């Protein structure tokens, strides 16, 4: 292959060629992207008016094209700068990381010297402290000839790998261009979905795809995006899931697609969580502590070469290759992310503030397209990613575990949090901001913990975990706005229920004494994650979010911050409407105040349906208490009806046993909680499940917190949208009802056990193909 060209970023070239020695992942708190921008702005403000920033530079070596953007050049003094925002002393930056920074600066130096005909150049590596914005500048002078020689040496070292990657890309794109659908013909609804995904990819748009169970959504989204990959010159596809079962389905579909391809050139990588991949969880990620970190970068080239030849890189394959070469499986997977074509993993890799997939895509300039499965969960998942809490009990625990040097600031934090609790006369209190004294105490703890973890780089355990928590809380407090709530909540202790604070409440203000009233929880709760996600959606080549329950389309558009031109498709159900009988219990009310009075009528309706149409049913309730009441009443009035119930804190074995009761042609009723483990992602085809009873509207419990959420969303989007309660509640209802029909041949019943289902605003949120 003599006519190939391979484009590589300066960062990628240097990371491939300059990293040596051991892993050194000791925790030196990194700056966020915003802090990095602030650090660069602080530097720019101190430079002369003619200072050039973000210089696009490019150079060639053989068939390599190297490009990137240099941070800054000051022509008056002929100085090129690389700016890195850090936390803590420069001396604690690992040597191999600092060597990487110099390699990047020297490469930019070679490119600008060649571009502007410079004979020599001053190089300045500028480290900016994220907290103080003070600069530490490391300088060197180099001739253009020396810089060019170093550049050519790096390119020569990378050239063989680049040739291999160019050949792989050509083979991959050729195979995808003629990729057949592995099942022969697409189903009608599946074809509509596939066409919409393909259009979104080719137009560089986002797509919301509401598609019911049974049409083959996984293949219906992966296949068209893979076909679009060559024409759109996509570097990677991310298949992101909100639940672990989705990853299994995605890998099965990708395996079928690889088998159907003319050449199996597609590299598929599963992103594995660190806690699942780590072989030595009690050891620090450092060459002096963990044997799989020692000499990691020296052993990496051989492990990387073997892995990319395999192509199919699920968790098991990554572990086998890693251990064979004596390297860490988790960090090998992180390195392989750079060379994979399709990445399968949890949504946090793309949407979390520290998500590796999105972070690398931005740093490397990749064209990345995402598919997000079960995307109705994405709002809650991303809310969690941009929320944080700190309890008084947690601070107490930190004091108990802390070395002497940390106890004073931790006690100070506990004292201020307790003082805020004493001033609070209700169990829940929204806060416009954290009081100044508490904010200062929190900052003192962060500074003290930062110094501690920097001075104890090999230590893992409670102090490091607590540091992560308070640092995450502080970062969200720094960005507090209308998109999030800040509040203080009194929580019940193990021995006493939540009550109004007594006048003599004493919570750890002077020596760990507590009257038993309970705990305090300071929280930043994200309500509208779109504030944080908008920039991400704009920076991706295309994103398709799909689920059986996404509507109304404005709900995810508004709350996730999707672009205004986001497309929408509602794929028709593959089931004949007459296969699902949907009925409303017009005389029943399951409101909290009516439950006791309506319980007999409710269980009679369940028993009557079971008697007329025997089979397996699921019965969904809003809480375990309500579930227990209904199950007990059914057992009392109809002991001949077999039943089994979901219990609190079910383990994997208990969940499997619950589902195993649903045998083909079986008879019985499984009681479950709406929104729990059995309300979605459960596949019971044919006669394993013939019906569902839903004794709730899925509305969140009434509480002061829920009132705050509703007020905030109503103020932002209007009171008539139902974003705080009705819309997410109806999504849960439709998900639960979706357990009944799993194929076009299935038949079944859904009973909506509340007269409120007859209301126009409620029915408007139910599937249009339901015949009610």
CA-nearest of 635, 619, 630, 634 to 750 is 619
The pLDDT value recorded for residue 31 is 62
CA distance 419 to 426: 14
Backbone angles phi, psi at 240, to 5 degrees: -105, 135
Nearest to 678 by CA among 655, 697, 657, 694: 655
Q: What is the pLDDT of residue 367?
A: 95
**CA 585 to chain CA mean position, Å:** 39
pLDDT at 263: 76
The reported pLDDT for the residue numbered 499 is: 33
Q: How far apart are CA 135 and CA 603, in angstroms?
A: 72
- DSSP string of 228-265, one letter each residue: HTTTTT-SEEEEEESSHHHHHHHHHHHHHHHHHSSS--
Distance CA 29, CA 448 (A): 13
Model confidence, pTM: 0.90
Specify the pLDDT at position 364: 86
Rounded Cα distance, 388 and 526, in Å? 9
What per-residue confidence (pLDDT) applies to 285?
87
Residue 24: burial class (beta carbons within 10 Å; 0-12, 13-18, 19+): buried
Q: What are the distances in angstroms from CA 603 to CA 116, 163, 580, 585? A: 83, 70, 22, 12
Question: Assign residue 150 a region: left if phi > 0, alpha if psi is -120 to 50, beta otherwise?
Answer: alpha
CA distance linking residue 391 with residue 397, whole number of Å: 10
Q: At what angle do helices 296-310 and 315-325 cross, to 10 degrees?
A: 140
Distance CA 406, CA 463 (A): 10
CB 252: neighbour CB atoms within 10 A?
Answer: 12
Q: Among 752, 682, 763, which Cα is nearest to 722's?
A: 763
Reported as a single tens digit per residue, the pLDDT across 626-679 is: 999 999 999 999 999 999 999 998 998 999 999 999 999 999 999 999 999 899
3-class secondary structure for 516-542?
Answer: CCCEEEEEEEECCCHHHHHHHHHHCCE
Neighbours of 201 (CB within 10 A): 26
Round to whole Å and give the CA distance between 319 and 333. 9
Q: Where are the beta strands (DSSP E) in 244-341?
A: 268-270, 312-313
Which residues of the chain register pLDDT less than 70?
A: 1-2, 26-36, 458, 460, 493-517
**What pLDDT is recorded for position 504?**
35
Please choose, from the candidates 190, 172, 173, 189, the residue with its C-alpha nearest in 3D space to the C-alpha of residue 181.
190
């Amino acid at each position: 292959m003599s006519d190939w060209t391979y484009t590589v970023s300066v960062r990628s070239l240097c990371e491939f060629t300059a990293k040596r020695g051991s892993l050194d992942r000791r925790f030196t708190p990194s700056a966020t992207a915003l802090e990095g921008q602030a650090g660069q702005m602080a530097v720019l403000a101190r430079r002369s008016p003619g200072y050039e920033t973000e210089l696009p530079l490019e150079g060639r070596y053989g068939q390599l094209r190297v490009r990137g953007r240099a941070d800054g050049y000051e022509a008056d003094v002929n100085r090129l700068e690389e700016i890195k925002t850090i936390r803590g002393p420069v001396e604690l930056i690992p040597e191999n990381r600092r060597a990487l920074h110099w390699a990047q600066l020297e490469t930019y130096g070679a490119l600008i010297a060649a571009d502007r005909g410079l004979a020599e150049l001053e190089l300045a590596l500028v480290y900016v402290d994220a907290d103080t914005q003070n600069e530490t500048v490391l300088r060197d002078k180099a001739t253009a000839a020396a810089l060019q020689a170093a550049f050519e040496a790096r390119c020569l070292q990378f050239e063989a790998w680049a040739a291999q990657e160019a050949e792989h890309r050509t083979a991959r794109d050729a195979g995808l261009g003629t990729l057949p659908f592995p099942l022969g013909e697409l189903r009608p609804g599946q074809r509509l979905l596939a066409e919409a995904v393909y259009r979104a990819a080719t137009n560089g748009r986002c797509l919301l795809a509401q598609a019911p169970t049974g049409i083959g959504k996984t293949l219906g989204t992966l296949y068209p995006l893979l076909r679009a990959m060559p024409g759109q010159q996509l570097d990677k596809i991310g298949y992101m899931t909100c639940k672990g079962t989705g990853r299994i389905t995605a890998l099965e579909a990708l395996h079928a697609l690889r088998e159907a391809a003319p050449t199996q050139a597609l590299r598929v990588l599963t992103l594995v969580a660190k806690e699942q991949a780590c072989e030595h969880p009690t050891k620090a990620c450092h060459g002096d502590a963990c044997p799989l970190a020692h000499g990691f970068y020296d052993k990496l080239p051989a492990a990387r070469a073997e892995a990319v030849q395999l192509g199919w890189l699920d968790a098991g394959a990554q572990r086998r290759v890693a251990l064979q070469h004596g390297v860490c499986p988790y960090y090998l997977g992180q390195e392989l992310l750079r060379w994979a074509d399709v990445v399968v993993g949890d949504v946090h890799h793309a949407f979390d503030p520290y998500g590796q997939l999105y972070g690398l895509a931005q740093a490397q300039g990749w064209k990345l397209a995402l598919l997000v499965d079960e995307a109705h969960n994405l709002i809650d998942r991303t809310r969690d990613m941009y929320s944080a809490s700190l309890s008084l009990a947690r601070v107490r625990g930190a004091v108990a575990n802390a070395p002497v040097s940390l106890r004073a600031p931790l006690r100070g934090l506990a004292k201020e949090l307790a003082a805020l609790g004493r001033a609070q006369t209700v169990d829940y209190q929204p806060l416009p901001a954290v009081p100044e004294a508490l904010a200062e105490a929190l900052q003192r703890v962060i500074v003290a913990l930062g110094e501690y973890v920097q001075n104890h780089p090999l230590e893992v355990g409670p102090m490091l975990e607590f540091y992560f928590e308070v640092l995450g809380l502080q970062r969200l407090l720094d960005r507090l706005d209308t998109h999030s709530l800040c509040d203080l909540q009194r929580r019940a202790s193990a021995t006493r229920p939540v009550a109004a604070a007594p006048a003599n409440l004493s919570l750890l203000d002077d020596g760990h004494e507590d009257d038993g009233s309970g705990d305090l929880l300071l929280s930043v709760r994200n309500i509208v994650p779109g504030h944080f996600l908008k920039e991400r959606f704009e920076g991706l080549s295309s994103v398709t979010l799909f689920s059986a329950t996404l509507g109304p389309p404005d709900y995810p558009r508004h709350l996730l911050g999707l672009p205004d031109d986001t497309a929408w498709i509602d794929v028709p159900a593959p089931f004949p409407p007459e296969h699902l009988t949907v009925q409303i219990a017009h005389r029943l009310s399951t409101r909290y105040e009516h439950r006791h009075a309506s319980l007999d009528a409710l269980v009679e309706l369940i028993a009557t349906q079971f008697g007329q149409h025997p089979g397996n049913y699921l019965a969904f309730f809003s809480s375990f208490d309500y579930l227990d009441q209904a199950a007990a009443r059914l057992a009392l009035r109809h002991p001949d009806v077999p039943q089994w119930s979901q219990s609190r804190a079910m383990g994997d074995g208990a969940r499997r046993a619950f589902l195993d009761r649903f045998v083909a042609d079986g008879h019985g009723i499984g009681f479950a909680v709406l929104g729990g483990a059995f309300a979605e992602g459960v596949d019971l085809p044919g006669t394993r499940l013939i019906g569902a009873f839903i004794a709730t509207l899925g509305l969140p419990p009434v509480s002061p917190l829920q009132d705050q959420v509703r007020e905030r969303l109503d103020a932002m989007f209007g009171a008539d949208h139902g974003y705080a309660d009705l819309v997410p509640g109806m999504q849960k209802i439709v998900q639960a009802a979706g357990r009944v029909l799993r194929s076009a041949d299935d038949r079944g019943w859904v009973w909506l056990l509340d007269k409120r289902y007859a209301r126009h605003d409620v029915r408007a949120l139910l599937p249009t193909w339901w015949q009610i």
